[in-house]
Amino acid sequence: MPATATGSVPTTKQPILLPEQNRVIWLLLAAAFVAILNETTMGIAIPHLIDDLSITAVAAQWLTTAFMLTMAVVIPITGFLLRRFTTRQVFIAAMTLFSLGTLLALLAPGFSVLVAARVVQAMGTAIMMPLLMTTLMTIVPAHSRGRMMGRVSIVMSLAPAIGPSLSGFLLDVLNWRWIFGIVLPIALLALAMGARWIHNLGETTRAPIDVLSIVLSAFGFGGLVYGLSQIGGTAAHGGADLTAAQQAALEAAQAMSTLTLIVSLSVGVVSLGLFVWRQLRLQAEDDALLDLRVFRSRNFTLAIAQAALLSLVFFGTITIIPLYMQRALEISALETGLAVLPGSLLMGLAAPFIGRIYDAKGTQVLLVPGAVIAIGMLWVYTTFDASTTLWTIAAAQTVLSLGLALSFTPLFTASLASLTPKFYSYGSAVVGTAQQVAGAAGIALMVAVMSGIEDDRLAAGASAAEAGAAGAHSAFLIAALLSLPLLVGAFLIRKPADDGEPAPLAH
């Protein structure tokens, strides 16, 4: 660590950030919070949109599928954008896109415009989280990054906790347009404040953008996410009470869904392979869209793999829990939301303390108990059946959330801290991409398993509650088995040495 003008070494008692730097972090946190809040409000609104817009459930799913696809396409590009343009330029662009998309959604005259609005929203959302992570790594001293990353964890925990409850309240009292009406003024305020107060951090490069890399990235990551989203549609969902014509139509739909799945995943894998080849060629001249030299750091690679696996089981599980509670236990949507609320709140409240522990003690004191708790609770989930009580589920969800809280903050911090400042933007893009693809894979896999088992049990004459419980049990079992390597990874990931100083502000 470099000496000061007097020759002494700075201590951890110095101010973590200058006032203007702290203001930038809080503005970025507020912008990220409203973006994630918006993302988590749509699920509950879909049944209302089906009725109000006279669309089918299959069509309505495009409101979330289009959002996920756009995120998967844009996030890998953010590494280049954050190096090519200034912090202020990227923030204004992201919040302008998000605000414009929110306004379009609020005023949407029909379904097609609403889908387009969600795409525009997703473009801004995809940029915001990598911008926040890169800025944090750039200006926060190494010895305080865990504490600051805890703030990010608060945003990532509280927004999903508040989103569904807020959405449900607005839908009961007003209508679905107010979901966007509440978000829009907050987004515009954040845009105005950011344009006024955010200054430029770090240095920019003048490298030209590689169009072929963008195309390959779009087909690669977009193809994977879209293909994974089709997994749940490959089951015929038939039954003995269907006519021959209806059964034939369902089988034809299944065949088409299977073909779409195969084609999408094939295009995604091939395009992703070509994308990697292209980046390896371009990164020698520092012209890569997503510089893959970040994976030369063993600690970064291990942390990303651990975070991706954790995201896979986490997003898959939190998607199955509401389905299980409403299908197998016949619990209302409001009670379902209240059951998962304590866990999300715990994650947010614990995050700052976990960040401080990381700064003082490192990774293993957090990751090992976090992995043990998460794995243990996922195995507890496999015991859930049609008679499990609401209080049991709420308690299990809360304890699982503690395990996740102990894991995510040190993983995000240790992964990016393993890189030199030059690669922070690319590392942030990799973190976001890994989360998005792994989360989509977890949701697709577990929903497909649950739906398949549920259909088999219904065809065998089981009740809806028994079939729903059996399907959920199989999905939870998959999650529990996939979580086992987390314990190994928890022992391998280290906290990088505190030998880096934040990059100076560039005005």
250 and 305 co-located in one domain: no
59 assigned to some structural domain: yes
Does some domain include residue 499? no
**Domain assignment of residue 505, yes or no:** no
Identify whether residues 223 and 295 lie together within a single domain.
Answer: no
Find the CATH number of the domain harbouring 313: 1.20.1250.20
pLDDT tens by residue, 253-266 = 667 767 877 888 89
Q: Are residues 270 and 341 in the same domain?
A: no
Q: Please check whether residues 147 and 218 belong to one and the same domain.
A: no
Total-model pTM: 0.76
pLDDT band (50, 70, 90) for residue 202: low
Q: How many domains does the chain contain in total? A: 2
Confidence band, pLDDT 50/70/90 cuts, at residue 379: very high
Task: Specify whether 311 is located in the same domain as 268.
Answer: no
What's the chain's average pLDDT?
Answer: 78
Instruction: Note whether 70 and 35 are same-domain residues.
Output: yes
**Residue 298 and residue 317 in contact, taking contact as beta carbons nearer than 8 Å:** no
**Does 404 map to a domain?**
yes
Kindly state whether residue 403 falls inside one of the protein's structural domains: yes
Is 323 a member of any domain?
yes
170 and 318 housed in the same domain: yes
Listed range (26-35, 153-162, 174-183, 220-229) with the worst mean pLDDT: 153-162
pLDDT tens digits along 312-341: 888 788 778 877 887 788 776 667 667 777
pLDDT, tens digit (0-9, with 9 covering 90-100), for 435-481: 878 877 887 788 778 878 887 888 788 888 888 888 888 889 999 99
Q: How many other C-beta atoms lie within 10 A of the C-beta of residue 265?
A: 17
427 within a domain of the structure (yes/no):
yes
**pLDDT of res. 460:** 80
Which string of DSSP letters, residue by residue, matches 319-368? HHHHHHHHHTS---HHHHHHHHHHHHHHHHHHHHHHHHHHHHH-SHHHHH
Same domain, 467 and 486: yes
- State the residue range of the domain holding 252: 210-288
State which of 288, 309, 332 marks the end of a domain: 288
Q: Do 177 and 246 belong to one domain?
A: no
* Beta-carbon count within 10 A of 424 CB: 25
Same domain, 258 and 298: no
Which of the 8 DSSP states describes residue 504?
P
pLDDT at position 497: 66
- What's the pLDDT score for residue 506? 40
**Is residue 503 scored above 60 in pLDDT?**
no
CA 507 to chain centre: 32
- Fill in the DSSP letter of residue 232: G
At which of 257, 288, 319 does a domain end? 288
